[in-house]
Amino acid sequence: MKHAGPDALLRLQSLLIQLRARAGMIEKKPGIFYRRGKAFLHFHEDPLGLFADMSGLAGWDRYAVNTPAEQATFILQLEDYFN
C-alpha cells in the first residue's frame, strides 16, 4: 500500500482542511502530519480505497476515509484521541 499521492489527496481536500485547522498537529509534507515531533497521521491509497493511518497506543490504526460518513467517523476517532 503506497502513501496517497496528489490526486488522492485532492479527493480528501475537505478532510485535510479540517485536519490542518486542528491545533497540535503539523503537516510536514502534504497529507503527513506530526505531533510532538513524531509521525502521527498519514494517508494511503490502494485498490480498496483511501485510508488514514493514525498512531495509537499499540501502533498504527487504519481508518477508511472514502466517503463523508467514513471521514466523519475518522474525525470522531481523532477527537477521542486528543481528549
What are the phi and psi torsion angles at 22 (to 5°)?
A: -80, 125
Write down the pLDDT at residue 57.
Answer: 75
Q: Using the predicted structure, report yes or no on whether residue 82 has a pLDDT greater than 90.
A: no
CB 41 within 8 A of CB 53: yes
Examine the pLDDT at 58 and tell me if it is beyond 90: no
Output helix, strand, coil percentages for the chain, rounded to the nearest 5.
35, 40, 25
pLDDT for position 20: 94
Residue 11, domain extent: 2-82
What digits encode the pLDDT tens for the residues 11-38? 999 999 999 998 889 999 999 999 999 9
How much is the pLDDT for 45? 95
Count up the domains in the chain and report the number: 1
Q: What is the pTM (predicted TM-score) of this model? A: 0.90
pLDDT exceeds cutoff 90 at 67? yes
